[in-house]
Each structure stands twice: as structure tokens, then as C-alpha cells.
Chains A and B, each alone.
Chain A
Amino acid sequence: MLEGLQLFGQSLLGFMQFKILVYVLLATELGIIVGMLPGLTATMGVALLTTLTFKMPTSEAILVLICMYVGAIYGGSRSAILLNIPGTPANAATAVDGYPLAKQGRAGRAIGIATTGSFIGTFIGMIILALFTPLIGRFALEFKSFEFFWLAIFGIVISGNLTAPKDPLKGWIAGFLGLFIAMIGMESSFAFIRFAKPGSEMSGGIALLPAMVGVFGFAEIITVMKQSAYEVVNTKIERVIPKFVEIWRNKWTIVRSGVVGTFIGAIPGVGEDIAAWVSYDMAKRSSKTPEKFGKGSIEGLIAAEAGNNACVAGAMIPVLTLAIPGSAPAAVLLAAMFIHGVRPGPLIMIEFPSFVYEVVVMVLLASAAMLILGLSMVKWLVKVLAVPREKLMPIIFVLCVVGAFAIQSRTFDIGVMVFFGVVGYFLREMDYPMAPLVLGIILGDILDKNLRRSLILSDGHLAPFFNQPIGLVLFFVTLLVILSKMKWFQNLMLGLKNLITAPFRKNKEV
């Protein structure tokens, strides 16, 4: 603990340079703009900045990316409040109460509350990140191939479950397709090339970044352009800085949303959008005035924004300790860390202990910049929303092409981006979520290595998959997640519950 504080202090001092602070402000502001613009998501922003920063020193590059991430998730609240169009999917819950507030002429107030909520949310997430990462890192050291196999399967199943709540089967299908995509190219044991002609571009495998720029960038452009144009409303913005009482009155909502958001962030492949909805839902359930939700409730707005921003820090926990992304933008961040030579995973507390605290400081700096920028320059920044999409989208597509190409300078990667964009668009139209797909591309390699290693260790027997405590827990949780979506299982559980509680109820009636 004390050592942690010391490392934290050292990292903080290390970042206190003029140049770095300018980077923080610029990257966060850019993030806010990216987040505000419909069609540009946090994932896209982080992916594009990865290209731009890969010649920078490691810690500066990761800092810039984290600022972009925090800024974009927050920035999406602007368009949600002002246009009723969430700038990123993470802000859909924000629009529910933010837009009615704007219509009532309280746009400035809504922006101020969203900003403060986001800041406190990030802050809570940061504290949990700092406390839990070393603990989980130590725990993850116990993981062997059986556990990693189950972790990969668990990640896909839970991500599919939560990102496609209406139809989890589609989430799972997307996840397993992602795992398959990771199989393409040369495998590690025999250097055998799978599902590609030797010597072809495909034999090098499908790179994560071009695929992500495709499904989160190009597919989004197609979606935005297909819809009829949105109208830019001209709302007057009054006072932005919120009253202290307003925040204090909702302190428990903020804390609850922050904690819930962080934990949802830590679940593999379940991102800010889900975090916001769950915090929003919980706030509504425990509210004294649930009828105000959807009609401009301050409580609802603050819950959504604290939840989605806390998720950012939460998503970093599995990235650092298990090398498994907690959300889609965190997946890009993970890829960027590998590009820069940091190897996150169970060994991080041994190999790069200071890096964990550097990341904590980065989140702190980003959230501070977000608060300052979010409460100032509001009127000026809103003008960005007036840029018509007909002009914006082609420029974003040009950036998608650059982003796909730049890291490896392969024209093939542009093709990959286009392919994933078009296929991703149609899959999204059919309600297949993209986050499990991307998670699958990352987990595929882990699954491949650890399933084969496990089978060699167990000599083909399946028993060892089920008789180790951690593996067993992961298996049961995975099974429960799948079963919980089956109707017969839900009925069975309901029946069991009635059976168990029946004697107590009888007693009560007597």
C-alpha cells in the first residue's frame, strides 16, 4: 500500500512537465470533440491516435490515448444533451434525461451536471483501479492454461450476454466469429499457416487495428449516412458550473454509479454503454422520484454520466492484469501498449510495477483536464456540432484509411478495414454486437495456446478442466450466464424460489 502511494507520487511528479500537460489538455479536448461528433466513437478516436502517437515515447503515447478515451466518453454527452443523438453509444442513457433538460432551456445546467458527474465517476474508477489492480495482478499469477482457457470462454460469453441483452445468441455468435478470425494466419507451435495461402498477405493474420477501425469507424459512417439528416438545435446556454447542493443531493447516486460503472468496465468486453444503462437503471429503481426519469431528471443524468466514465478506469483493470480488454476502446489501448513494448498481463506487477501507477496518474490527469475543459469553452465548442455530416464523414473515412494503413504500411490492411466495415455494418443491422467480435480477435490467441497446452497437460482428458478451483468457478459462472438467458431455466429458478420461500410465507399468513 505504502509502496503503491510512493510509486503513485513518483509517477505524478514525473508527469508534471509543461509539454506533457499541454499534451493532456490537447488530447482531452480532441477527445471531447471526437466524442461529440456522431459517427466518431471513442474506439475510433483512440485507434486513430494510436497511429499518430506511435513514434512518441511509451508513457507519453499511452497518456495521450487515455486522455482521448476519457474525453471522448465524456464528450458524447454534449450531443446527447443538445441534439438527442448520443455522440458515442456510451451516452445513449445520457440523452434520456439530458435532452429533456435542454428542451426545458436548461442545457447549460445539464452540461455542467454531466461534466461533474463524469469527473467524480472517473475519480471513483481511478481509486478502484489503483486499489484492485495490484490485488488482481497477484491473483492472476495463479492462472495456468486451464484457467486461461476458461477465462477466454467466460469473456466471450459474458460479453455476448451483456452487449446483446435482447438476443444473447447473436452476441455469442459474434464472439466466436471473432475467435475464429484470430485463427487465420501462422500458428505458434508448428508455424503452420491456417485458413490462408502460404505467402499471401492473409498468412500474416488479420491485424486488430484495421479490423476495429472497420467495424467501429467505417460501419458507423455508413450507419450515420444512411439516416436522414439531424437538425441542429440552437439552444441558449446559460450557467454551466453546477450548484454544489445539486451534486451533494445526489452523492449516493454518484458513488453507486461510479462503483457499478467501474465493475462493469472490468468485465471483459462489456463497455461504457452497458455501464451507463445499468447505473441509470439502478438509480431509477432506488430513486425517490422515479417518475421524473426520462423527463429531465438530474439524478438520471448524473447516474448515466458517472457510470460511463467510471467504466473507463474499470476497463483498464483487466487490460493491465490479464491483457484482456474491458471495453472496445480499451482493446485498442491494449494493442497500443503491445506496440510500445509494454506487456500487460499477470506479470505486470513484477515486470513493470511503476507502469500500473503511471496509468492511474494518467486517468487522474485526463479527468482533471476533462473537468476544466468541460466547464469552460462550452459555447465555443458547441459550434463543432454545426458541421454538416456530408462534409465530416468523407474526412473521417479518409482518416479510417490512414489509420488502417499507417501502423504496418500494408495496402492489404486497407482492404481488411473495408471488409470489416461492410460486413460489420450488415451484422450490426442484424443486431450482432461488435464488441464480442473484437474481444474474440484478442482472446483467440489466448484460447488457441491455452486449450492446446491444457490438452497436452491432461493428455486429452477433460477432468482437469473441471477439478481446479479457479477454473471450476469460471466454468460455473459461464454456465450460469448462459443458462440465465434460457426460459426453462428462469422458470425452474422461479419455481425453486417459490418452493423454498413457501413455508416462510405460510408462517407469515398464519
Chain B
Amino acid sequence: MHRLSLKEDTMKESNMPKADFLMSILLIVFGITVMVTSINMPRFEEMDANPYSVPGVVPGFLGAIIGFMGLVLLIRSLIRKGYKLGITGQTVKNWAKEDSTRRLLLTLGLSLLYALVFIGFLPYAVGTVLFIFAFILVFEYKKGTPLREQKQMIWKAVLTSVISGVSIWVVFRYLFLVNLP
């Protein structure tokens, strides 16, 4: 959606054959698994079923096509030398140091924590307020800012999370009569 900077663009371009190489293997394995599972699906012969109408026909066909496209992708990535993955301790370290990686992992971690743990274990409104608060805090906190500013930021985060969390809860539950988790 957003345009990438030139540096990011070329980096993405050079890593693509590697990503394709890994993805193609995944697709081939997936396609074969789907085909085998489809072949082993019941044929309902005792019910005198038409052999072309059994449940495995269409998924088997799809598995074959997915596997074939995986193969094409594999051949293409091999030509582009995608098998040279070049993953070393250093590249992983560099990746881990990048700011975008930190943001990615934080977003993923917080969201998964909320969707899979908070919901179900905490009351809906409490979990939601807590999640919004934690999210704002984690992303707006900057090292080295004066204590007074930090305090202000925390108060603003508390205010935003309580107002938005509670109003989502009230509006959906009582105004729109939507079931909430």
C-alpha cells in the first residue's frame, strides 16, 4: 500500500528468489499432501455413488494444480539461484536489530496476546482497555524523554484506552446489540 523506499525495494527484490524457493517447497509438499488425503477419502461404493461425484475429486484436482504451480515456482527460483539462502548468524542479527523488525514483533505479540489470551480469560472490557493501553505505551514510549513528558504520555494513554475501550463495549453491546466475546 505504501510505497517502499528505494533501499527497501531493492532489498526485497534480491531476497525474493530465496522466499520463492522456500515457498515453492512448501507448496509442493502441501499439494502432494492434499492429493494423498483426497485419494484416501471414502468413495461411498456401498452407496453406489458415481465415481466422479465422490468428495475427493475436486480437492485432488486443486492439490495437483497447487503442487504443479509450486514446481514451476521452484524451477524459476532455482534459475535465479534462490537456493543460496545465505542465512548466517550475522544476517539474523542485522534483521533483529532493525527498527521495523522490532515494530513487527511488538505488533504481532501484543495483538496475539489480546486475541488469544485476554479474550476468554479476562472480562471483555477489561481486556480491551488493557490491550489498547499497552499498545499505546509500548509504541509511544521513547527513551530519554523527561519524566514529566513521560508521565503526561502515560496519562493520555490511560485516558484514550479507557474511553475507547469502554465506548466500544457499550456501543456494540447495548446500541447495536452485537454479541461480544
Contacts and interface: CB of A to CB of B under 8 A. Distances in A.
Given A190-B55, A397-B111, A176 B16 contact: no
A418 B109 CA distance: 12
A394 B135 contact: yes
A415 B116 contact: yes
Interface in B150-180: 160-161, 164-165, 168, 172, 176-180
Where chain A touches its partner, the secondary structure class is: helix
Contacts, number: 173
A394 B131 contact: yes
B85 interface: no
- A221, A395, A409, A455: residue with the most chain B Cβ atoms closer than 10 Å: A395
Contacts of A399: 168
A402 interface: yes
A144 B165 CA distance: 51
Interface residues of A, number: 66
A226 interface: yes
Contact of B16 (A194, A406, A430): A430
B120 A411 contact: yes
Interface stretch (A179-187, A319-327, A374-382): A179-187
Interface residues of B, number: 68
A2 interface: no
A401 B135 CA distance: 15
- A38, A224, A226, A451: residue with the most chain B Cβ atoms closer than 10 Å: A226
Nearest to B157: A391
Contacts of B41: 192, 194
Nearest to B70: A173
Interface stretch (A84-92, A129-137, A344-352): A84-92
A3 interface: no
Interface string B67-101: 00110110010000000000000000000000110
A226 B104 contact: yes
Contacts of A456: 50, 52-53
Interface of A: 38, 51-52, 55, 85-86, 89, 92, 169, 172-173, 176-177, 179-180, 183, 187, 189-190, 192, 194-195, 218, 220-228, 230, 388, 390-391, 393-395, 397-399, 401-402, 405-406, 409, 411, 414-415, 417-418, 421-422, 429-431, 447-448, 451-453, 455-456, 459-460
